[in-house]
Structure 1
Amino acid sequence: MRRRLIQSTLAVVLVVIAVFGVSLVLVEARTIENSAKESVDSEAVRLIGIVESRMIGEERISREVLAQQIAPGRYALVRIPGAEPIVIGTRPTGQVISSRQTGEQGETVTVEESRSKVSREIGRTLLIILAVALLAVLAAVVLAVRQARRLGSPLTDLAETAERLGSGDPRPRHRRYGVPELDRVADVLDRSAERIARMLTAERRLAADASHQLRTPLTALSMRLEEIIATAEDEDAVKEEAAIALGQVERLTDVVQRLLTNARDPRTGSAVVFDIDDVIKQQVEEWRPAYRSAGRAITSAGKNRLRAVGTPGAVAQVLATLIENGLMHGSGTVAITTRVTGTQVVVEVTDEGQGVPPELGARVFERTVSGRNSTGIGLAVARDLAEADGGRLELLQQRPPVFALFLAREDQVTRGKGAEKR
């Protein structure tokens, strides 16, 4: 931007100098020539007047008397009937400016001046004009650089402010630059920063309050399930179901605690190295009864003994969301497959249904966007949970649907070679 400002300013100045400079040179050259011609004519008229007055008074006409009336460097020739011509100065060569006057008694006066003198005068004038033009260009450069700095630096600063807002730092800077338009943009950014700060504070407060309120009933439910396990020693089925429910409550408690921690300090992470097999196995066992009741199946396959970096509770929540979507909106068998790509562990969840409608595409992860009668929040929350620990959730294929959870892989796989899950 600075370069464009400087170039545009210089272009305007050069055009102005070119238009007015050429016109001024032409006018000055014409003025100098006319002035020289008028001066030569004036001397010729003066000389013819002196010669006539002396002839009328019968006075002596000499070269010494007439030479005093001629400017140095000029040539004059006086012709008087019946007398020798009077020559004053040296006759110039080349182009000359000449004036010839004739008196009433037949006398003539010719005055000549070399045009080179006029050319030198025009050259000096041209040099002066060029010097002034050069000073104007230098002044324009200085002013353009200062103006570019005055406008460029604030724009760079405003861009940094906008980038800072986009990165999650909503602190207003309260900087002004003395340019009304830029100050107006700065005011808008500061007001936006304050609104974003208030919204973030409200959201974090809401998350903290909701998490805090959920912890109490979850704790009470966990205690009741523990009592059921303790008192149902003879009922294996009840004991097993209670143990599964207790595991679900514990995972939900972990997610709530994680939300509460992020609400207090969003920079705090809880990622650890964990066995992805354990999370997948737990989810398959948890959802198998629901799929069996719907006359469907859920399977797992792929590379096992993989260790990933993340939060086990959050990963379980992401997989639960994908499995639930397969149960509610898909059909056929839901398959969970693990594989490795580069430095990442990939967990894919797919079913045999119609998949994601074409009009949704990548918007399936946006909040409130849903192709069925649902809230459209589940996948958005799952994506946020995946990204919180450095992973990502993507839709690799729309029909049949293939959702992929990418997690960072442990630096070295030390638990043996991979084998196919059955």
Structure 2
Amino acid sequence: MRRRLIQSTLAVVLVVIAVFGVSLVLVETRTISNSAQERVDSEALRLASIVDSRLLGAQTVDADVLRDQVAPGQYAVIGIPGQKPIEVGAKPAGDVIHSTAKGEQGETVRMEEPRSSVTREVGRTLLIIGLVALLAVVAAVLLAIRQANRLASPLTDLAETAERLGSGDPRPRHKRYGVPELDRVADVLDSSAERIARMLTAERRLAADASHQLRTPLTALSMRLEEITVTDDLDTVKEEANVALTQVERLTDVVERLLTNSRDPRTGSAVSFDLDEVIQQQIAEWRPAYRSAGRAIVSSGKRHLQAVGTPGAVAQVLAALIENSLMHGGGTVALRTRVTGNQAVVEVTDEGPGVPADLGARIFERTISGRNSTGIGLAVARDLAEADGGRLELLQSKPPVFGLFLSRTPPLKKHAEEGPTVR
């Protein structure tokens, strides 16, 4: 591209020089020739006038008198009736420029000048025009190189940016070049980089959330299947199979919820539901794990509370809190329900060491963990709680108390708020 820009610019300059330079040479050559001819004509008339004045004054007219009136390099022949022609100056050799003038006394004056003087002057003019043309070509080449670099370098940068996007590096460069068209391309690439970065972040987040959220249902399902394999009691097998089917349904709900959140983390399906039912389901699900760890899980507080939210999401939030207590807490885990204002609150607490003071409110940030865990569970739980208009808070650090706040007001129907649609 650089070579093409330089070649095209140089070609344009050469064409301009060829067109205007040749015309200028022709005009200057003609002008110099005409000027020389006019000079010789003027000298012939001047010399004739001098001869006239001396003849009228009866003065002597000879070569010695007229020698000072003829410029060096010129040759004059004065013809006076009845006298021998008078020659002044050296007769030029070769081609000459000449002019003849007649006086009032019948005399004639022929003035000659070598054409070589005109040729020298034309040569000097051609040399000046050639130097100007050469300077124009050099300036054009330098300008073309500068312009080519100005256009080619941004294109190289944009190509590198596009290559980085293709290789999985979506960092925008935010670099502009002062050329509207190139800046527009840079804007589009930066916007694409930001969109790709968001998509990659969403994919990584979905993968991390899926691995974390699916682990608990799969573990519970595995425990139920193990119970089936070690028993010969058909009633127990049937009971455990029903529980396993429930776990499969919950696993399906977890997957659907993760996919929904990956598309729009604020898309909820809040309904009014029985909070006791979700709590008892979680206690029944986690009791075998706590029993294996030599610990207990209990519930207390106000019963028969109606809360607003997505039952599956609330179950996942409680599961994350219960699992967090199992991994990092100690002693008995208690789920307490209470009412504050227009909200139903589920508190999850244990008898463990609590949340380290240096974590504090950062406990809900992703990758933040007081122990060697993923640091995802509480962050996902908070997102799930907020998706349906609730919130998850750390109410107390030692002993740890997490509070899930859910609204008790039934959600308004969307169509009722928007009114009828006119089509």
Scaled by the length of structure 2, the TM-score of the pair is 0.54
CA distance in 2, matches of 1:202, 1:65: 110
Partner of 1:113: 113
Partner of 1:167: 167
Displacement of 1:185 after TM fit?
Answer: 1.7
> Tell me, which stretches of 5 or more residues in structure 2 are unaligned?
256-261, 263-423
Find out whether 1:45 has 2:45 as its counterpart. yes
Which structure would you say has the larger Rg? 2
- 1:331-355 Cα offsets, whole Å, 9 max, x none, are xxxxxxxxxxxxxxxxxxxxxxxxx
CA distance in 2, matches of 1:66, 1:89: 10
Correspondence list, 1:190-201, <5 A:
190-201=190-201
Displacement of 1:212 after TM fit?
Answer: 2.2
SS at match of 1:78: strand
CA contact (8 A) 1:37 1:97 kept: yes
CA contact (8 A) 1:43 1:69 kept: no
Partner of 1:209: 209
Find out whether 1:177 has 2:177 as its counterpart. yes
Correspondence list, 1:250-329, <5 A:
none
Correspondence list, 1:16-95, <5 A:
16-95=16-95
CA contact (8 A) 1:5 1:144 kept: yes
Partner of 2:130: 130
CA distance in 1, matches of 2:30, 2:193: 66
- 1:87-135 Cα offsets, whole Å, 9 max, x none, are 1111112211110112232211000111111111111110110111001
SS at match of 1:192: helix
CA distance in 2, matches of 1:99, 1:78: 12
Partner of 1:230: 230
SS at match of 2:69: coil
Partner of 2:146: 146
CA distance in 2, matches of 1:67, 1:138: 51
Give structure 1 regions of 4+ aligned residues with deviation exceeding 6 angstroms.
none
The CA RMSD over aligned residues, in Å, is 2.5
CA distance in 2, matches of 1:80, 1:143: 66
CA distance in 1, matches of 2:73, 2:129: 27
CA contact (8 A) 1:48 1:103 kept: yes
Aligned residues: 242
Q: Aligned AA for 1:171?
A: R
SS at match of 1:12: helix
Percent identity of the aligned residues?
Answer: 77
Q: Aligned AA for 1:198?
A: R
Displacement of 1:234 after TM fit?
Answer: 11
Q: Aligned AA for 1:211?
A: S
Q: Aligned AA for 2:12?
A: V
CA distance in 2, matches of 1:130, 1:11: 17
SS at match of 2:50: helix
CA distance in 1, matches of 2:224, 2:80: 145
